[in-house]
Amino acid sequence: MQTVTTSSLLHHLQCSHCGHSFDPLPGQTLSVCCQAPLLCCYDLDEHRFSKRELSAGPQSLWRYEKLLPVFQEQNRISLGEGWTPLLPLPRLASDYGLQHLTLKDEGLNPTGSFKARGLCLAISKAKENGEEACIIPTAGNAGVAMAAYCARAGLEAVVVMPRHTPDAFKEECLAYHARLILVDGLINDCAAKVQALNQKSGYFDVSTLKEPYRLEGKKTMGYEIAEQLTWQLPDVILYPTGGGTGLIGIWKAFHEMKALGWLSEHQRFPRMVAVQAENCRPVVDTFHGKQANSKQYVGKPTLANGLAVPRPIGEPLMLTVLRESGGTALAVSEDDMIEGVSELSRREGIFAAPEGGALWAATKQLLRQGWIRPAEQVLLLNTGSGQKYLDNLKGKWRS
């Protein structure tokens, strides 16, 4: 096949802990210096990428190709991910006295969640780096997305998932011909299983933040939010937080856009809100000083399986985002997230995942506390569709 080079401006990888630089060579996982996540750094200069060029780009996350890490076009593995709509929520806004309430609907991505963005880039780079088989510990959606992109790339896929995950997630992985391994416990127990398996086999581990490229896929949400709002950022963004790649990635995108000169000098960055489930609230507890960190946190399963991440490796990066942005962290109950899903469906016709329902429940809490003011621009990042969760949601609707 003919090799066509992309216009990627990727320059080097940087240790998120000490700042040490590395070449973006194949096989990069955590930094060798600090065992911390590696971040992609680009040549950020308005002359190399002007936002005026965007109008000619595809209606997918590949419109930001220069700020993505894939070097050769034939390694771009795409299923139409990204460029999801920003939907105003006028009925809910008027029910609760908010003036500007919007939802970015990531449920419309391939495989029904925003995990498609991250896995699209991780699997494209795995292919570019010559990997043949990938493995992932997952709470559900990431495994499905990895299985789909591996199928499209012609790579082998191994998905390690909690046994209690709804069948829809498992069946879709099997449809993509992934090998599915079920584990009793949560995603951290799946991660331990992946490490044990990898003592013997050479699968490439695409766990959250353990390779540098999922984050690059997720950051495109930040670019899209800015571009879709014609470069005026909202006041508050609520994000359902598990491993935190979206939170960290969106914040990275805002900084990159600033360096590119795409935002006005006076543009304030949004206050970022991490929303978790009462059943698994490690970042909320650390943020509010109830524990030093979540290294020993023990979580319980939640309907919002994407939030069941008890010991996220990216916690220090998430805390930096919350503090730098003047944001906050809060948890919602299982009942409140179901009521959130129900209200979004009933009032706006949007069938969100419980993770998305949790955002609306959190918005109401913050509005009651006065932390969100009625005139502020509030954006909910609905990370997934409710469709795969029906086993756990059926019978919960008001008659």
Ligand X SMILES: *Cc1c(COP(=O)(O)O)cnc(C)c1O
217 counts as binding ligand X under rule CB under 6 A: no
> If you search the block for the tokens 């939907």, which residue do you land on?
87
d(CA 359, CA 92): 13
102 counts as binding ligand X under rule CB under 6 A: no
Taking CB under 6 A as the criterion, the residue among 245, 276, 325, 363 binding ligand X is 245
Q: CB-wise, 69 or 244, nearer to ligand X?
A: 244
Q: CB-wise, 116 or 257, nearer to ligand X?
A: 116
d(CA 108, CA 223): 17
12 counts as binding Zn ion under rule CB under 5 A: no
- SS3 label, residue 299: coil
d(CA 96, CA 331): 20
20 counts as binding Zn ion under rule CB under 5 A: yes
Long-range contacts of 194-199 (CB under 8 A, 24+ apart): 194/135, 194/136, 194/137, 194/160, 197/135, 197/158, 197/160, 198/135
383 counts as binding ligand X under rule CB under 6 A: yes
- Within the chain, strands assigned E span 10-15, 21-22, 38-42, 86-88, 100-105, 133-137, 156-162, 179-183, 204-205, 236-240, 271-277, 328-332, 377-382
Taking CB under 6 A as the criterion, the residue among 270, 306, 310, 357 binding ligand X is 306
d(CA 147, CA 126): 13
Q: CB-wise, 66 or 281, nearer to ligand X?
A: 281
208 counts as binding ligand X under rule CB under 6 A: yes
> Minimum CB separation from ligand X for residue 88, in Å?
21
> Minimum CB separation from Zn ion for residue 22, in Å?
9
The binder of 111, among Zn ion, ligand X, none, by C-beta within 5 to 8 A per type, is none
Q: Which residues of 100-121 are buried (b: 16+ CB within 10 A; e: fewer)?
A: bbbbbbbbbbbbbbbbbbbbbb
- Tokens for 154? 């012609």
Q: CB-wise, 6 or 392, nearer to ligand X?
A: 392
31 counts as binding Zn ion under rule CB under 5 A: yes
**Are residues 144 and 115 in contact, defined by beta-carbon separation less than 8 angstroms?**
yes
d(CA 190, CA 213): 21
Element (H, E) at 173: helix 167-175
- For 55, which DSSP code? G
**123: nearest Cα among 112, 139, 110:** 110
276 counts as binding ligand X under rule CB under 6 A: no
- SS3 label, residue 41: strand
Taking CB under 6 A as the criterion, the residue among 244, 270, 299, 327 binding ligand X is 244
Q: Scan residues 25-84 and list those touching ligand X (CB under 6 A).
A: none
Taking CB under 6 A as the criterion, the residue among 158, 339, 355, 357 binding ligand X is 355
Taking CB under 6 A as the criterion, the residue among 113, 165, 294, 363 binding ligand X is 113
Q: CB-wise, 188 or 245, nearer to ligand X?
A: 245
33 counts as binding Zn ion under rule CB under 5 A: yes
Window contacting ligand X (CB under 6 A); options: 9-17, 238-246, 335-343, 366-374:
238-246
Q: CB-wise, 60 or 276, nearer to ligand X?
A: 276
54 counts as binding Zn ion under rule CB under 5 A: no
Q: Scan residues 287-346 and list those touching Zn ion (CB under 5 A).
A: none
> Minimum CB separation from Zn ion for residue 39, in Å?
11
Taking CB under 6 A as the criterion, the residue among 115, 117, 193, 281 binding ligand X is 115
The binder of 240, among Zn ion, ligand X, none, by C-beta within 5 to 8 A per type, is ligand X
Pairing of β 236-240 and β 377-382: parallel
Based on its alpha-carbon atoms, the radius of gyration of the chain, rounded to whole angstroms, reads: 20
> Minimum CB separation from Zn ion for residue 11, in Å?
17
Taking CB under 6 A as the criterion, the residue among 69, 243, 299, 357 binding ligand X is 243
Residues near Zn ion (CB under 5 A): 15, 17-18, 20, 31, 33-34
Residues near ligand X (CB under 6 A): 113, 115, 141-142, 208, 240-246, 306, 353, 355, 383-384
